[in-house]
């Protein structure tokens, strides 16, 4: 089983993560153990060679912590021990599958819950592996992490209900990453389009400004050329002659005045 150790999605919480099947088997085991313990107590009283496996002594007494076990198991006890061995192996393989596939998201090793068998040994009947389901900052990271969580949670051949719940959290994280990534891509495209449009408008304005300046310059140049190339008219010629004649008469008048005063 897997347990959630960190989550901001608030969809699942920490749990022992034991499967319904194993819990049922444990209840059956506990019921059988009670019957076996009663039989073992009677057997210990009748047989002086009973061993107290809790303390490891041959006193034949009964431990204050739990019942002493007989060297010889009944047929029912042997069946129970064999069944507990199978459950133990299944539980350990289940958690090992989580660990093998949980690189990057597993936060702890497997922890187990145990029960005692009629033979005095402990057997694993439940287990859990911690998984980090907290969101990341980048959309791509959430997509990758969501996938990893789902792979880890569903790695065993017989996922438990808790495994499916954790896998659902991973699916939500992946969906969140994809949604954020799509929004980010759309925003980047919008910003790129606005930037391109602004650049085009600026270039167009620059080209228009150069064209207008060239047109004004051409107009001015054309007007100057027209003025220079304009043929002289009669009025212009007469006017020029009058001006020239005036300049020619001024010195003579000035000279005659000077002579009079002399």
**Domain extents in the chain:** 2-184
Evaluate if residue 131 carries a pLDDT over 80.
yes
pLDDT digits 0-9 by tens, 26-38? 444 554 445 444 5
CA distance 103 to 129: 12
Residues in Cβ contact with 130 at an 8 Å cutoff, skipping those fewer than 6 apart: 2, 3, 4, 5, 106, 107, 108
Q: In what order do the strands lie in the sheet with 111-116?
A: 2-6, 122-132, 111-116
Residue 117's Cβ-side half-sphere holds a number of Cα atoms within 13 Å equal to: 22
Per-residue pLDDT tens digits for 68-118 = 555 689 999 999 999 999 999 999 999 999 999 999 999 999 999 999 999
Q: Is it the case that residue 14 has pLDDT exceeding 70?
A: no
- pLDDT tier at 247 (50, 70, 90 boundaries)? low
| 3-class secondary-structure state, position 42 | helix
Averaged pLDDT for residues 156-181 = 97
The whole-number average pLDDT for the span 239-261 is 57
Can you give the pLDDT at residue 99?
Answer: 97
Placement of tokens 């997509």 in the chain: 143
With 60 as the cut, is the pLDDT of residue 203 above it? yes
Residue 216: its pLDDT value, please? 75
What is the rounded CA–CA span in Å between residue 110 and residue 1? 9
- pLDDT tens digit string along 210-235? 777 777 777 777 766 665 565 666 66
Q: Is 124's pLDDT higher than 90?
A: yes
Q: Kindly give the pairing relationship between strand 122-132 and strand 2-6.
A: parallel
Q: How far apart are CA 142 and CA 151, in angstroms?
A: 14
pLDDT at 213: 76
CA gap 43, 186 in Å, rounded: 78
Containing 236, the helix (H) or strand (E) segment is helix 234-261
Question: Of 161, 169, 100, 179, whose CA–CA distance to 134 is shortest?
Answer: 169
Q: In whole numbers, what is the pLDDT of the chain averaged over residues?
A: 74
| Percent of the chain clearing pLDDT 70 (strictly above) | 58
- DSSP type of residue 138: S
pLDDT of res. 168: 97
Q: How confident is the model at residue 144 (pLDDT cuts 50, 70, 90)?
A: very high
pLDDT at 94: 98
Q: What is the rounded average pLDDT of the residues 161-169?
A: 97
């Amino acid at each position: 089983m897997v347990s959630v150790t960190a989550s901001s999605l608030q969809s699942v919480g920490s749990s022992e993560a034991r499967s319904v099947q194993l819990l049922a088997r444990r209840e059956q085991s506990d019921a059988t153990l009670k019957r076996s313990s009663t039989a073992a107590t009677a057997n210990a009283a009748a047989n002086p060679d009973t061993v107290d496996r809790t303390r490891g002594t041959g006193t034949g007494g009964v431990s204050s912590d739990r019942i002493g076990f007989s060297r010889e198991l009944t047929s029912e006890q042997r069946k129970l021990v064999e069944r507990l061995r199978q459950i133990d192996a299944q539980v350990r393989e289940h958690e090992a599958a989580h660990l093998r596939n949980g690189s990057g998201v597993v936060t702890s090793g497997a922890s187990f819950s145990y029960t005692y068998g009629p033979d005095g040994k402990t057997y694993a009947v439940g287990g859990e592996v911690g998984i980090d389901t907290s969101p990341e900052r980048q959309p791509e990271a959430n997509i990758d992490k969501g996938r990893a969580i789902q792979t880890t949670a569903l790695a065993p051949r017989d996922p438990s209900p808790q495994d499916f719940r954790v896998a659902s959290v991973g699916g939500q994280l992946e969906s969140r990453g994809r949604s954020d990534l799509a929004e980010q891509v759309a925003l980047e495209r919008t910003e790129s389009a606005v930037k391109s449009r602004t650049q085009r408008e600026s270039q167009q304005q620059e080209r228009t400004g150069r064209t207008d300046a060239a047109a004004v310059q051409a107009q001015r140049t054309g007007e100057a050329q027209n003025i220079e190339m304009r043929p002289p008219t009669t009025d212009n010629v007469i006017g020029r002659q009058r001006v020239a004649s005036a300049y020619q008469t001024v010195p003579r008048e000035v000279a005659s005045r000077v002579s009079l005063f002399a």
